[in-house]
Amino acid sequence: MEFARASSVFNAMEPIVVSFFEEHILPNYSLKCGCDKCATDIIVLTLNHLKPQYTSTQAGQAYIKALYMNPQMQSDILQELTRSLQIVESKPQHQLAE
């Protein structure tokens, strides 16, 4: 069986993490650097530490999103976002403007 590259495989965690970052981190934390590079690094590092949730359908994406309405799962995402934020702020991958 050959895997067709045209098939749409999607990590449903990506929009969930981005949404949590925009709704919970940005309005509540004063980031040392608010550049796109640091924001992307925080999101990517968070995604690398959370279990991916792959799907190939919109129904699957909706199901996974519904799972993450659970307060414990939301807390797990926020904890990982906070850890990632601390790592990126302590070791940014660019020079901070003085």
User: Under 8 Å CB-to-CB from 20, ≥6 apart: which residues?
Assistant: 74, 77, 78, 81
pLDDT confidence of residue 64: 92
42, with CB counted inside 10 A (0-12, 13-18, 19+), is buried
Give the pTM. Answer: 0.84
Query: SS3 string of 37-56?
Result: HHHHHHHHHHHHHCCCCEEC
pLDDT confidence of residue 3: 56
pLDDT confidence of residue 22: 95
- Report in angstroms the alpha-carbon separations of 48 from 30, 32, 57, 60, 95: 23, 22, 22, 21, 24
pLDDT confidence of residue 49: 97
Task: Report which residue type is found at 13.
Answer: M
The one-digit pLDDT tens for each residue of the chain (98 residues) are: 455 555 689 899 999 999 999 999 999 988 888 889 999 999 999 999 999 999 999 999 999 999 999 999 999 999 999 999 999 999 888 765 54
